[in-house]
Amino acid sequence: MDFNIADELKSVQELARQILADFTEVEQLKQVEQQEQGFDEKLWGALADAGLLGIDIEETLGGTDLGFYALTALCEEVGRTVAPVPAIPVLVSAAGTLRRFAAAGQKENWLPGIADGSLLVTAATEEYNNDNPANPNCRAEAVEGGYALSGTKTCVPAASQSRRILVPATTGEELVVALVDPAAAGVSLSPQVVTSGETRHELHLDKVQVPDAEVVATGGKALDAMNWVQQATRTALSAMALGVCDKMMRMTGQYTSEREQFGRAIATFQAVSHRVADCYIDVECLRLVTQQAASLIDQGRPADEASTIAKIWCGDVTHRVSQASQHCHGGTGVDRDYPLHRYCLWARQIELSAGSSAQLTAQLGQAIGAAYSSP
Amino acid sequence: MNIELTAEQKALQQEVREYMTTVMTPELLEEMKIPEYKEGGGPEFRKQYARMGADGWIGLSWSRELGGRELSHVEQYIFTDEVVRSGFAYPFLTTEAVTPVIAANANEEVREEVVGGVRDGKVVIAIGYSEPNAGTDLASLTTKAVRDGDDWIINGQKMWTSLANFADYVWLAARTDPDPAKKHKGLTMFLVPTDIAGFSHTPVHTLGVRTNATYYSDIRLPDKYRVGEVNGGWKLITGQLNIERLSLFTHGQVDALYQGVCHWAAETPSPSGGSLIDQPWVQHNLAKVRSGLEVVKLICWKQAWAMDQGALDMADASVAKVYGSEFFVELYRLLLEVMGQAGTISADSPGAVLRGKIEFRWRVGSILTFGGGANEVQRDIIAMAGLWMPRTR
C-alpha cells in the first residue's frame, strides 16, 4: 500500500499547473468564451510542446508513457483552472482507447498527431437516454469492406474540430467500435450549447460508410474497449471534478476569510467555516476514491466497481461543494465577472456526464443484489 | 500510488482473521449476552485476553525491547481492523494508546508491573479524562492531586470511565497546579490501581453500554504511580489521540455488518415476490452503504500509511474523525431501514437478525460524533489547518 505520489509525477503536475495557470487568466478565458468553438488552441499547443498531451501514449508514438494515473493528474489540473481544452474526450476517451485496443496501423495514424497537438480525435460515448457505450442503439450494418453506421449520438465534445470520432455501434449481435470521419457522407453535426458553455454536437449518422481499416474493434474486444472507456472516462471526470472542487473550496475559504460583515470576517462565524470544512471533507473523500480508481486502471486491474463509486462521489461532491461555494460567496458567486461561476457550471456539467449519482447508485445496487443472490 | 494491500499485508490479515475465530468461543459469545460483560470483563473474556497475551498477539506495534514486533502502523491497523471485526472486546486504548506512553514515561517498577501485565493479557486500564464539567474542553478538569511527602493525595470525580468496573488501573489526568498560566499546563498523569483505598465507582447505564462514574476520595497514591513530569500531562494526553482514533474507526467492523445484511436480504423473501435484495429501495440503501464504506477503508489506510511516513496531516486526521463517526451513524440507519421492524428486535428475542448487532451499534454510534473531540471542534481544525481560515469565535 503506497499513497505516495512519485516525484516524476509531481513535477509533471507542477508543470501542467504552471502552463494551465498562464493561459487561464480571467481575461483570456473570456476571450476564448467569445469564440464559437470555445477551445484554446494556443494552450493546447503549449501543453503539446511540454509533452503533456502524450502522457498516456507510448514513447515510440511520440508520447512520454507515464501512464493513466499521470493522465488523471493532468485532468485534475485542467479542472483546477477550468481550462477550455478537451483533455478528457481526446486524451482519455479517444487516445486512451486507441492505445489499448486499436491495431498498430491505427495507432500510428492518430496517436503521434494527438501527442504533438497537430490533430484531435474525440469519442461519442453518449446517446439520448443511454450513456453506456457498451450498449449502443446506433446500428452497424456489415457491408462490403466495412460497416455502414446509422444512429444518433449526443453532446459529443470537440466534434467539429476532430479528424475522427470514436463511435460504438451494434450489428444487433455484436458490438463494433469504429473511427468516423466527420467529413464523410451521411455525417451531420448539430451544435448543442451545454451548461459548461462549450459547444458540443449532436452527431447524426445516416448509413455512414466506415472501411475496415477504420474499425477499431468488434465483438468481445469492442466490449472490453467500451467498458474500458466508460470506466476511464468516469475516473477522469472524477479527477477533473477533484480539481474543480478543490479550487472552489479554496476560493471560498479565502473569500470568507476576507469578506467582513458585522465588523468581522464571515469565516469567523462557525456556521460559515463549518460549511467550508464540510467541503474539505467531501473533497478528501472524492480524492481517495478517484485515486483508487485511477491507480487500478493504471495497473490494468478491474475497476468497474471502483470507477462507479468514484463517479457516484463525483456527482454528489460537485453538487454540494458548488452550492456551498455559491452560497458562501453571496452575490459575488453568481457574478459573471468573478471566476467562481465557471467552476459551478463545470461542476454541473461533470456531474451529469457519463452517469449521474442516482443512476450509478441504482446500478451499483443491482450489482450488489446480483452478487449476493447468486448461489 | 498503489492503494492495495501487499501480499504480506494480506497474509497478516488472514492470519489475524483466522486466529480471532478461535478467540470468539461459543462460551464468550454467551457471556457477551450479559449486559455487564458486553464490553468485556467477564471470566471468559479474561481467559481469552490472557490467551492472546500468551500467544504473543498483544502489543505487536511496541518496540522489541518491550516484547513487541515493531509493526508498522499499516500492519497495526490491519490487526486492529480484524480484531474489531471479530467482535472481541479487545482493550485497544489500553494496549495501543496508553501502554506505550507508560512504557516511555513511567517509573521502572511500575513500568514492569503494568507493561508486563498488559503484554500478558492480564491488565486492563480505564481512561480517566472526562469529568462532569470537563468534556471536549478537557483542560478545565478539576480532579486534584496534592503532593504529600512521597505520596499524592487525590480527590475528585471522573465521568464516562468505561471499563473501570473491571479494569486494574485508571489512567488519570489530575490537576497539580491550581493556578497555571494556561489551564492545560497544570495537569499530571497518574496510574491509580483500582483496589486502592478511596477509589470507588458506580454504574452509568447509557443507551448502549454500561460505563461508570469513578470517585477518588483522599486516595494516598505513592509517587511511583505518577507518569511523566509533574504538570507535564497535556502532551501525554494529546500525543496518543491520533493513535486512539486509528482504533475507533475501522472498516472491518462495519463492512461485516453490511455483508451480514446483504446475506440476510438475499435469504429473506419479499412480500411482493423474490428476495428482499431484489427490491430497488433495498439495493439503493446497500449501494449507499457500499460507496460510503469504500471511503472508510481508504481513509483508514491513508491515516495508517501517513503515520508510517511520519506525515499525518492535522486536517486529514480531523476529516477521518468527522467522516467516520457521521458515516457510521448513517450506515446504521441505512441498514436498519433494510431490516425494518426486524431491526428493532433485540438479540435474545425470537426473530432477531444478526444477533441484534446493528441496533446495538446504532445505540453506541452517537458516542463517536461527540467523543474523542466533538465534531464541531474537528471542523474548526479543518477550517484552520486545512484551509487557513481564521479561528471562529
Q: 3-state DSSP helix/strand/coil percent for chain B, to nearest 5?
A: 55, 15, 30
| Residue A277 with chain B: CB contacts under 8 Å | 322, 379-380, 382-383, 386-387
* Å between A54 CA and nearest CA of chain B: 20
What's the pLDDT score for residue B184?
A: 85
Q: Under an 8 A CB cutoff, do A312 and B388 touch?
A: no
Per the prediction, chain B carries an average pLDDT of 92
Q: Which residues of A touch B299 (CB under 8 A)?
A: 284-285, 288
Contacts of A98 (CB under 8 A, 6+ apart): A106, A107, A110, A111, A121, A166, A216
Q: Which residues contact B362 (CB under 8 A, 6 or more apart)?
A: B329, B332, B333, B336
Look at chain B and report how many structural domains it folds into: 3
- Do B263 and B214 fall into the same domain? no
Is there a single domain that holds both residue B53 and residue B157? no
- CA separation for the pair B143, B154 (Å, rounded): 7
Cross-chain Cβ contact B266/A372 below 8 Å: yes
Say if residue B300 is in the same domain as residue B352: yes
As a whole number of angstroms, the distance between CA A232 and CA A93 comes to 7
Confidence of residue B242 (pLDDT cuts 50, 70, 90): low
* Confidence grade of residue A319 (pLDDT, cut at 50, 70, 90): very high
CB contact under 8 A, A1 and B305: yes
pLDDT band at residue A375 under the 50/70/90 scheme: low
In the three-class reduction of DSSP (H, G, I as helix; E, B as strand; rest coil), residue B210 is classed as strand
* CATH 2.40.110.10 residue window(s) in chain A: 123-218
Which DSSP letter does residue A88 get? I
Q: Are residues B195 and B81 in the same domain?
A: no
Indicate the pLDDT class of residue A345, thresholds 50, 70 and 90: very high
Residue labelled with grid coordinates 497478516: B12
Choose the final residue of a domain: B69, B90, B111.
B90
The structural architecture, per CATH, of the domain A222-373 is: Up-down Bundle (1.20)
pLDDT digits (tens, 9 = 90+) for A199-246: 999 999 999 999 999 999 999 999 999 999 999 999 999 999 999 999
CATH code assigned at B154? 2.40.110.10
Which residue from A99, A98, A96, A78 is spatially nearest to A87, judged by alpha carbons? A78
Q: What span, in angstroms and rounded, lies between the C-alpha atoms of B7 and A374?
A: 28
Range list for CATH 1.10.540.10 in chain A: 7-119
Q: What is the mean pLDDT of chain A?
A: 96
- Nearest C-alpha neighbor of B218 from the set B152, B267, B138: B152
Which residue in chain A is spatially nearest to B301 when comparing CA positions?
A: A1
Is residue B244 flagged as an active site residue? yes
Q: Helices A219-258 and A304-329, interaxial angle, to 10°?
A: 20
Domain with B74 in it: 7-90
Q: Which 3 state secondary structure label does DSSP give B166?
A: coil
Interface probe with A: pick from B283, B323, B337, most Cβ of A within 10 Å? B283
* B316 CB within 8 Å of a chain A CB: yes
Query: To 10 degrees, what angle do helices B251-267 and B280-308 make?
Result: 160
Average confidence (pLDDT) over B369-382: 91
Which superfamily, per CATH, for A7-119? Acyl-CoA dehydrogenase/oxidase, N-terminal domain (1.10.540.10)
Mutation for testing the A interface, residue in B6, B77, B314, B392 having most A CBs under 10 Å: B392
Residue type, A291: Q
Question: For chain B, what is the total number of helices (H) and then of strands (E)?
Answer: 16, 8
The sign of the CA dihedral A59, A64, A70, A71 is negative
B277/A372 CB distance under 8 A: yes
How far apart, in Å, are the Cα atoms of B324 and each of B41, B300, B317, B330? 27, 9, 11, 10
B69 in a structural domain: yes
Cell triple for B144: 486534584
Q: Complex ipTM, two decimals? A: 0.94
B387/A1 touch (CB, cutoff 8 Å), yes or no: no
Classify domain A123-218 at the CATH superfamily level.
Answer: Butyryl-CoA Dehydrogenase, subunit A, domain 2 (2.40.110.10)
Consecutive H or E run containing A368: helix A357-373
CA A241 from chain centre, in angstroms, equals: 9
The DSSP H or E segment spanning A316 is helix A304-329
Which listed residue (B244, B326, B330, B337) is catalytic?
B244
CB pair distance less than 8 Å for A281 and B309? no
A1, pLDDT greater than 90:
no
